[in-house]
């Protein structure tokens, strides 16, 4: 992507974030009585997620290592230069050949926006709103933020390492309309998996799991899950429509993002169950009992 595009996308992303906090600001003083079924599971003595120094140092360290390694590999000079090579669509597998498209800058931009919404705007917006309603402890922000950063680091690093290993040619290279900037930085060979889809589905899985743990009885669980996955699916389809990816690239990104978006919070949920004594095992003369929560 070129610099003007990145600048434009950054401005749009910043405007979206500003809108979220403006919305929270105008509602923060509203007198709202939160129904019991909507109460946050976190309180002064319990949280569904916990941070611990050793596990989080390991996760942040490993995630950072993956992210740096993946980034460096995408900037490697060892990739072959493009010498106006033509690509035959018959080399595309039968399934992906049904869905490939020429490059579209406008659809590329829209897909980047929907990805940013799912990756940051929705998670921040949902918990900022709950916080404004007095239904989200301020100390939980650090926990959620740490988990989100860890998830993104792993997603960013792993997807780039896969991209630079597989080096699959993007769909638009099989058409007459290409992203010319990608020819200079070898991005045209980084089709699998879809990075936007990885990020979007990571955001969807992360928000869905974390929200359901904080608000297990909330009637808004389904709307939150449906909205986040709608943005994720929309992002994936836009990546195909814009000519950046094949369907199988999107599917691969969706699997990667979902596993990480669920896996990182799940680890911290297990830490919380151990920390707050929700898991138990006891032995008595009459036998034994065990309780484990997932």
CB burial string 222-232: b at 16+ within 10 A, e below: eebbebbbebb
Triad 183, 184, 185: Cα angle to 5°:
100
CA separation for the pair 167, 175 (Å, rounded): 18
- Confidence at residue 53, expressed as pLDDT on a 0 to 100 scale: 95
Termini Cα distance of the chain: 42
Tens-digit pLDDT profile for the chain (294 aa)? Answer: 444 444 555 555 555 555 544 444 444 444 467 787 889 999 888 999 999 999 999 999 999 999 999 999 988 867 766 667 788 888 999 999 998 999 999 999 999 999 999 999 999 999 999 999 999 999 999 999 999 999 999 999 999 999 999 999 999 999 988 777 777 678 889 999 999 999 999 999 999 999 999 999 999 999 999 999 999 999 999 999 999 999 999 999 999 999 999 999 999 999 999 988 754 443 445 554 444 444
Q: Cite the DSSP H helix spans in 167-194.
A: 180-184
CA separation for the pair 97, 100 (Å, rounded): 6
Asked if 54 contacts 215 with a C-beta cutoff of 8 angstroms, the reply is: no
- Pairing relation of β-strands 280-284 and 287-291? antiparallel
- Confidence at residue 4, expressed as pLDDT on a 0 to 100 scale: 47
- Confidence at residue 164, expressed as pLDDT on a 0 to 100 scale: 93
- Confidence at residue 27, expressed as pLDDT on a 0 to 100 scale: 46
Asked if 217 contacts 159 with a C-beta cutoff of 8 angstroms, the reply is: no
């Amino acid at each position: 992507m070129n610099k003007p595009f990145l600048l434009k996308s950054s401005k749009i992303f910043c405007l979206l974030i500003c809108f979220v906090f403006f919305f929270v600001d105008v509602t923060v003083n509203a007198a709202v009585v939160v129904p019991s079924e909507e109460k946050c599971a976190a309180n002064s003595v319990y949280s569904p997620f916990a941070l611990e120094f050793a596990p989080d140092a390991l996760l942040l360290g490993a995630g950072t290592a993956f992210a740096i390694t993946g980034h460096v590999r995408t900037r490697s000079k060892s990739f072959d230069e493009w010498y106006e090579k033509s690509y035959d669509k018959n080399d595309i597998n039968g399934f992906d050949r049904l869905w490939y498209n020429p490059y579209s800058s406008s659809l590329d931009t829209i897909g980047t926006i929907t990805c940013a919404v799912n990756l940051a705007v929705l998670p921040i917006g949902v918990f900022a709103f709950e916080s404004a309603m007095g239904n989200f402890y301020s100390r939980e922000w650090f926990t959620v933020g740490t988990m989100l950063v860890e998830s993104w680091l792993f997603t960013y690093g792993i997807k780039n390492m896969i991209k630079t290993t597989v080096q699959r040619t993007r769909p638009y290279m099989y058409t007459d309309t290409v992203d010319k900037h990608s020819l200079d930085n070898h991005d045209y060979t980084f089709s699998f998996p879809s990075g936007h889809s990885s990020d979007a589905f990571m955001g969807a899985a992360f928000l869905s799991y974390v929200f359901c743990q904080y608000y297990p009885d909330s009637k808004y669980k389904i709307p939150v899950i449906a909205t986040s996955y709608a943005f994720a699916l929309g992002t994936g389809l836009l990546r195909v429509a814009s000519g950046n990816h094949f369907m199988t690239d999107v599917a691969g990104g969706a699997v990667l993002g979902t596993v990480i978006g669920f896996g990182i919070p799940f680890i911290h949920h297990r830490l919380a169950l151990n920390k707050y004594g929700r898991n138990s095992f006891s032995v008595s003369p009459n036998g034994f009992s065990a309780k484990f929560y997932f």
